[in-house]
Structure 1
Amino acid sequence: MRSHVLATIAVVATSMALVGCATLQRTVEVQSDLDSLTKSGAVGSIATLDDNSTTTVLTSGVPHQTNGDSIGPRYRVRIAGVTKTFTAALVLQLVAQDKVGLDAPVQRYLPGLVPGDTITVRHLLQHRSGLAEFAGEPNADEWVAASENRTLTPADAVAIALSKPAQFEPGSAFRYTNTNYIVLGMLVEAVTGRSYADELRTRILEPLELEDTYLPPPGERDIRGEHMTGYADLPGGRTDVSRIEPSIPWSAGALVSTGKDLNTFWRALLSGRIVPENELTEMTTPHAGATEAEGLGYGLGVGSTELPCGVTYIGHSGGIYGYYTLSGATEDRAYTVTLTSTPKEQPDIVAMLSHALCP
C-alpha cells in the first residue's frame, strides 16, 4: 500500500464494451485522453461512466499480460485508497446515530491506543492526526508479506506507526496517512462490537447490492473471480504483483470492486442514501489546507474540486501494488477508471474528469 502516490490512469480505444451509450462527444473525449496513456505503457485499463440511467464501459489493453483476452465490464480490481470513503461512511453513520462524536477524542473509544487525548475522530477522518505512516515499513509491505505468508493485525500496524515520531501536532497540518484509517476501522469494531467486515457488509454492500465488492479476509491473497492482473516495473522487469496480503491495507485500502459497483456507491452516497444530510455536508466540505496528491480538497474521507465547467466533483483515488483507481461523481454523473500498471506520462486529472463528467 502506497502513501497516496499519484500513479496514472488509462483506458479506452482498442476494445470497447458498451452497456448503453454515453454522449458520443463525451466518449470520444474520454477515449482520446485515455488512449494516449494506454500507449504510454499501461497493460490494461477499464473505465465505467454513468450518465443518468446510462452506463458505458470502456476498456483498453488486456487483463493479463500473458494472454490476449479482452477485459470484461465486471472485471474486479483492487481499489486501494477508495476504501477510505467506505470506512468514513461507516464512521459517519455512527456519528449520525450518536454513537460516535466527530470531535471526541479517539481515547474515548479506543483507550490507550494512541498517545494523549488530543487526537479526535475528525482528525483521523481528515488526515490531520499527525500519526506516522505504517505502510511500506519492512513488516508492513503487503506484497512482500504475501510472498512470506505473513499477516498483520491492525494493532500491530498502529504499533509500527507509534514506533516513529509523530508527523506534527494533532490538528496543525494535513498529511495523507493510511494509519488514520486503520485506527478508524478499529473504532468501528470497538463501538459496534462487530467486525469491520460485517459492518461494511450489512451497512453498505448489501443494502446497495454491491455484489462484486468485498473485503478479503486475512490470508486471502488472490482476487476472486474474473479480474485484472496488476503489474509493477521492478528491477527484474514487469512483474505480476496482484497477489497481496489484505490484512495490511485493511480498512485503509483492501477492498476489491468494479467500476459499476463504485459508481453505484458514489451516486448513493451523494444522494443521501448512505450518510444523512448533516453528516454528508461534513464529509464533503474540504478543510482549508487539506489537499491530496491530485489537487483535490479533502473533507472527511473524500476529495473534491470544482471542474472548469462549474460542476463539483467528489471522489477519491487509490494506489496499491499493480493498481491505480480514480472514482467519484458529480450531481448527474459518475466515473471510475482503473489501470493495472504505470504509464510513463502523468495524466491531466482535471482534464480527464472534465471530459468524463462535464455537461
Structure 2
Amino acid sequence: MALLAERASGIGYHDLVRDRVLRPAGLTRTDFLRSDELPADAAVGYLPIDGVDRSNIFHLPVLATGDGGIHSTAADISTFWRALFAGAIVDSVADVVRPRYDGPDKSRRYGLGFWLSQSTDTVILTGWDAGVSFKSTHDPHTGTTHTVLSNTSPGAWPLARHLDGNSP
C-alpha cells in the first residue's frame, strides 16, 4: 500500500499520510515517530519472552511503514473520528463506510480501511503488533467513541469486548 501511495501521489508515504489525514483532521499528537525519538510520555510496549516481560524495541522497525505503527493518543483518535465524519479527510464518508466485504465469521463487514458492525452503523479500527494493541469504535449517529490502547499485544481485547457488550 505504501509503495502504491508513493507512486500515485509522488509523495512519500509518511508525508502523504501527514498531508491527507493528520493535518486536515487536526491530529497534533499523532505521527510516525522513530522508536529512538519517542516523547517522554510514550508508553513502552511489552511482550512475554521466556516468561519475562520484555520491551518490544527489537520487534518493531525504527520507523513504521504502511502496515501501521503510527503513534497516537486516545484524544487524537476521538478527534480523528469527528474529523472523518465531518468530511475533513475524505470527499465521501458514505463511500468509505459502505460495506464491501463480509468478514470470515460474518460478525463484521469491511469498508475502505474500516471494519463495520454487522447490525449497526458503528465503524471500527483495530490494530496490533508485538507489544501493542488498539481498538476504537465510533457510532456516527450518537457520536459515541470507545478507544482502548494497550502496551501489550493482547491487552486491548478484554476491555474492548466489555465495551462492545460482550463478556471478557
TM-score (normalizing by structure 1): 0.40
In the alignment, structure 2 segments of 5+ residues that lack a partner are none
Displacement of 1:343 in angstroms is: 5.9
Displacement of 1:260 in angstroms is: 0.8
Partner SS state of residue 197, structure 1: helix
Displacement of 1:246 in angstroms is: 4.2
Q: Which of the two has greater helix per residue?
A: 1
Displacement of 1:353 in angstroms is: 2.7
Tell me how far apart the structure 2 counterparts of residues 274 and 306 of structure 1 sit (CA, whole Å): 24
Match of 1:161 in 2: none
Given residue 330 of structure 1, which amino acid in structure 2 is its aligned partner?
Answer: D
Displacement of 1:324 in angstroms is: 0.5
Displacement of 1:298 in angstroms is: 1.3
Partner SS state of residue 76, structure 2: helix
Match of 2:146 in 1: 335
Percent identical among aligned pairs is 25
1:282-301 to structure 2, matched below 5 A, reads 282-291=95-104, 295-301=107-113
* 1:210–1:261 Cα contact (<8 Å) kept: yes
1:12-31 to structure 2, matched below 5 A, reads none
Partner SS state of residue 66, structure 2: helix
Q: Which of the two has greater strand per residue?
A: 2
Of residues 68, 88, 94 in structure 2, which corresponds to 1:273? 88
Aligned pairs, how many? Answer: 161
Cα gap change, 1:224 to 1:288, in 2 (>3 Å): closer
Displacement of 1:271 in angstroms is: 2.6
In the alignment, structure 1 segments of 5+ residues that lack a partner are 1-183
Match of 1:262 in 2: 77
Partner SS state of residue 251, structure 1: coil
Match of 1:324 in 2: 133
Partner SS state of residue 336, structure 1: strand
State the structure with more CA Rg. 1
What RMSD in Å do the two structures reach over aligned CA positions?
2.7
Displacement of 1:222 in angstroms is: 2.9
Tell me how far apart the structure 2 counterparts of residues 343 and 301 of structure 1 sit (CA, whole Å): 22
The ranges of structure 1 where at least 4 consecutive aligned residues each deviate by more than 4 angstroms after the TM superposition are: 348-351
1 or 2 for the larger relative contact order (CA 8 Å, sep ≥6)? 1
Alignment partner of 1:314 is 2:123: yes
Partner SS state of residue 25, structure 2: coil
Tell me how far apart the structure 2 counterparts of residues 299 and 246 of structure 1 sit (CA, whole Å): 30
